[in-house]
Amino acid sequence: MIDVSIQDGGTYLTLSGGGASNRFHAIWLRDNAWDSETRAPGNGQRLIALRDISPDVSISAAEVRSGALHVTFAPEQKTVEYALDWLFENSYDKEHDPERGWTSASIEHWDGALNSAVPSADFSAVQSNPSEKRAWLEQVARYGFGKLTGGPTEDQALMKVVDLFGYVRETNYGRHFEVRTEVNPTNLAFTGLGLQAHTDNPYRDPVPTVQVLYCLESSAAGGENMVVDGFRAALRLREENPAWFDVLSRYCAKFEYAGEDGVILRSRRPMIELTPDGELIAVRFNNRSAAAITDVPFDDMATYYAAYRRLGEIIDDPAMEVTFRLEPGECFIVDNTRVLHARKAYSGTGTRWLQGCYADKDSLLSTLASLQSELPEAAE
């Protein structure tokens, strides 16, 4: 049984029941009305602006009946119906002082223990079966990366991967880029040396939020791909030394790329990025692209570098790694705002040919949300 009472002369109301209560302001309720005069029936976009709502709006009447809250607003004398489930789902009457570095419940942090359960799916199944696609995208959203196996071994097959969830983000590197490596090469440009785990293109603003790497040839020994959960690394730093976490999230680093004529890319963002209420939303770590750090005060610079060094040590810790080998026709995608990727070194003889491209997470999450809406019985 849900009861409603009007408080403070109609400034807000309280819904009570089941040992809990939720308060809602009149202005919030009126702004979030879903009637056809306030919202477009087709897409839910607002048809009015806040200026169209009286600054003196108040609640003149409210009652709960048939599983819904009915509210009458003054001075309009307009009555609006709200689903109780929607109100409780969107309630803001709660504690708003979370720990710095909190993440959504839909995100799962991980370390090397995930080696035994790498998120993976079959390309053909994901391409042809919406339930398989939904399940795979749910894993990518939860863990920040995922593999696909059994794909075609043809030039630009990675475009078919992006077509599963979104659109290619073209950059100065083009719609895609080549990653060709030869062991014992005649040209050092095709080196088989390993790469430290990093996020890509931190010098871009906004940074590409999804990266796809697709294997077309792999005859060399070694060269395994490796991923590290940047969120887990940042939170491990916080557990060890909160002051170090704070300094890397409070001050901006600078990143720069000027490797070709006509292209100079620069950005200024923290290595550990938080929202104003402390949510951990991004990690940027790429020593090769780091510019001189100038936005840290003198008195904090030594602490900053100690924190920077320790974050790198955590990222390099083998216990943090998930490692897998890509064979021809296999690929993986990473959330480039969260998951760092790397490559082990090569030995012996052989070649390795991958193609890569960028996309954006908003399309991936949109595709996932749409599939969850269409297949609610299968969504977790």
Domain identity same for 150 and 76? no
Domain identity same for 46 and 116? no
Flag whether 99 is in a domain: no
Element (H, E) at 359: strand 351-359
Task: Give the model's pLDDT for residue 377.
Answer: 64
What's the distance, CA 6 to chain centroid?
Answer: 40
Domain identity same for 85 and 131? no
Task: Give the model's pLDDT for residue 181.
Answer: 73
Task: Give the model's pLDDT for residue 186.
Answer: 42
Domain, as residue range, for 158: 112-374
Domain identity same for 70 and 117? no
Q: Which pLDDT tens digits describe the chain residue by residue (380 residues)?
A: 899 999 999 999 999 988 889 999 999 999 999 999 999 988 899 999 999 999 999 999 999 999 899 999 999 999 999 999 999 999 999 887 789 999 999 999 999 999 999 999 999 999 999 999 999 999 999 999 999 999 999 999 999 999 999 999 999 999 999 988 756 554 334 456 667 899 999 999 999 999 999 999 988 777 789 999 999 999 999 999 999 999 999 999 999 999 788 999 999 999 999 999 999 999 999 999 999 999 999 999 999 999 999 999 999 999 999 999 999 999 999 999 999 999 887 776 778 899 999 999 999 999 999 999 998 765 44
Task: Give the model's pLDDT for residue 187.
Answer: 39
Flag whether 94 is in a domain: no
Question: Domain tally for the chain?
Answer: 2
Residue with tokens 């879903």: 34
Question: Rounded to 5 degrees, what angle do the CA atoms 179, 185, 186 make?
Answer: 120
Domain identity same for 71 and 141? no
CATH number, domain of 189, equals: 3.60.130.10
If we measure between CA atoms, which residue out of 20, 19, 39, 34 comes closest to residue 70?
34
Query: DSSP for 123-158?
Result: HHHHHH-HHHHHHHHHHHHHHSEEEEES---STTTH
pTM of the model: 0.90
Domain identity same for 42 and 157? no
If we measure between CA atoms, which residue out of 74, 42, 60, 70 comes closest to residue 6?
60
CATH number, domain of 11, equals: 3.30.2020.30
In the chain, what is the greatest distance between 2 CA atoms, to the nearest angstrom? 81
Task: Give the model's pLDDT for residue 297.
Answer: 97
Domain identity same for 73 and 161? no
Flag whether 129 is in a domain: yes
Beta partners for 176? none
Domain identity same for 121 and 83? no
Domain identity same for 162 and 257? yes
